[in-house]
Amino acid sequence: MNRMRVEDSWLAPGVEAESLWRAAALNNDSVLDASGAWLGDPTEVAQLEAAQRAGPERAVLSEAMPRLAELPFDADRKRMSTVHRLAAGGDFAATDAGGRIAYMKGAPEMVLPRCAQLAPQAQTEAQRMAEVGLRLIAFAERQLPDGVDVHDEHALERDMRLLGIVGLTDPPRDEARPAVDECSAAGIVPVLITGAHPSTAAAVARALGILDAAEAGDGRVLTGAELARLDDDALADRVQAVRVYARVDPEQKIRIVGALQARGQYVAMTGDGVNDAPALRRADIGVAMGRGGTDVAREAASLVLLEDNFATIVRAVREGRRIYDNIRKFIRYTMSSNAGEIWALVLAPMFGLPVPLAPIQILWINLVTDGLPGLALASEPAEPGTMRRPPRPPAESFFAQGLWQHVIWVGLLMGVLCTFVFWLAQDGDPRRASTMVFVTLTLCQVYGAFCNRSERQSLLRIGWLGNRPLLLALAITVALQLLVVYVPALNPIFKTVALDARDLVLCFALSVLVLVAIEIEKLLARRNLIYREPAT
């Protein structure tokens, strides 16, 4: 569905509305599909729909005034002209002599200078409509004398008669403003690059929250003409502050992307047209529109949006951060658990104690205690504040922000606790001591899995019940662990013995220290005393 529509129009003095809408209908490349809907550029479709409401059907006009030639729109010309035959004495003939007539449409600054006479209020009306965020299209006509080469723009597009200016609006989706606000909170700087009038671009940017109400005149809006006067160094100095680029050419989009990259920015760019393809390819992440985008744009892009919706990009960023966080959580949990096993096996012999774990017990821990909770961490929901933190530097190590330190000290803590339990149990059955280490290490990892649901947020804030797959995995882990301890048939296989209530309470009490210690670590991290977050 085309969201763009004609919102306002202005007629030049002495011009009838029929003339303006006839030009809008004939200087138009939209076509009907099988269902009777108009297909084409959204701007042209909106113009044609307005023309159909105001005057004769386009089919009737086209039959009476067939197109003879066309000078197509392009990014440099910013205008389009069509030439039509006039039937002598017909309903649409400007004179009884018939002949040819040219219709031109385009940006007002490209059409008005090619008109023979201008109404004084033309520029004022154009500025008025632009300031309320309307996209402006000016229309003009010219009855062509004999001998004019219709393929020569200099001969054709001159001495035109201004018909009027049409203002179109493409209302932002309801979710666009919240998506922009969420980007800003996440440290992502939205920038608007458009071919529209600067006042129109600024109004749209203010409506979306890209510009504040007072920012349009403080260097935040840069036109293509101003950009062309800047060399690469000067543009690199300006690009950090500019939020809106108006009336830019395709080549200038590449310069903008390059200037941002030169300042160390990671650039994602959206586009849908053929002219956007070079900039999409130059950007770090090119995002093309799947519905309205051209094949060239989709081929040049890294990603294709099936919904053509900016809010989808924000949802993708949120999901990407969640996945990245969960991978880190899985690695933190798995590596710290494995480190705990290693320290337990190393520390006991260092203090003159026997090896505390049997090979079958180590295998059991790796398969069950590490595996199930680790996989369940992948389903952890996004943490509170995920979209209110700055992006991580692209070159940042995966083990940055305290991950490797966490692995070392948590693993060491687990090893110390297991060694302490092993030492306490040395006055009895060796298998009892080994079983207590076996249970303690498993419970340490269970508590560690709970804590690793967030790298910084307290369990009191995120809650204990937010990840049901993890709860199920940990419940299965504890249940299986108790089975290998208390089912007599499994004791010979796993080298275990049944523990009494005092021994079991001791294992639970010591292993909970892992939870307390990790929560203290997260408290210190939240206060930026350790593992400081990267600056915005």
Assign domain 176-313 to its CATH superfamily: HAD superfamily/HAD-like (3.40.50.1000)
pLDDT at residue 51 tops 50? yes
Residue 28: DSSP 8-state: -
Q: How many helices (H) and strands (E) does the chain have?
A: 22, 15
Q: Tell me the pLDDT band of 88, cut-offs 50, 70 and 90.
A: low
Burial (CB count within 10 angstroms: exposed 0-12, middle 13-18, buried 19+), residue 280: buried
Grouping H, G, I as helix, E, B as strand and the rest as coil, residue 493 is helix
Q: Dump pLDDT digits (tens) for 444-494.
A: 999 999 999 999 889 888 888 889 999 999 999 999 999 999 999 999 999
Q: Dump pLDDT digits (tens) for 107-150.
A: 999 999 999 888 788 999 999 998 888 899 999 999 998 889 99
pLDDT at residue 91 tops 80? no
Which CATH fold would you assign to the domain 321-526?
A: Calcium-transporting ATPase, transmembrane domain (1.20.1110)
Q: Dump pLDDT digits (tens) for 257-313.
A: 999 999 889 999 998 888 889 999 999 999 998 877 788 999 999 999 988 888 888
Q: Which residue has the tokens 């220290």?
A: 513
Q: Could you tell me the pTM of the whole model?
A: 0.77
pLDDT at residue 95 tops 50? no
pLDDT at residue 249 tops 90? no
Q: Are strands 135-144 and 99-106 parallel, antiparallel or unpaired?
A: antiparallel
For residue 32, CA distances in Å to 24, 39, 168, 354, 534 come to 16, 6, 21, 85, 54
What pLDDT score does 11 carry?
A: 94
What pLDDT score does 149 carry?
A: 92
pLDDT at residue 180 tops 70? yes
What pLDDT score does 96 carry?
A: 44
Q: Which residue has the tokens 């809650």?
A: 463
Grouping H, G, I as helix, E, B as strand and the rest as coil, residue 85 is strand
Mean pLDDT of 208-222: 74
Mean pLDDT of 229-243: 92
pLDDT at residue 372 tops 90? no
Q: Tell me the pLDDT band of 218, cut-offs 50, 70 and 90.
A: low
Q: Please, what CATH class does the domain formed by 5-169 belong to?
A: alpha beta
Mean pLDDT of 190-199: 89
Contact between residue 516 and residue 451 where contact means Cβ atoms under 8 Å apart? no
Indicate the domain borders of the chain: 5-169, 176-313, 321-526
Q: What is the distance between the alpha carbons of residues 222 and 259, in angstroms, rounded to a whole number?
A: 14
What pLDDT score does 418 carry?
A: 96
pLDDT at residue 531 tops 90? no
- Is there a shared CATH topology between the 176-313 domain and the 321-526 domain? no
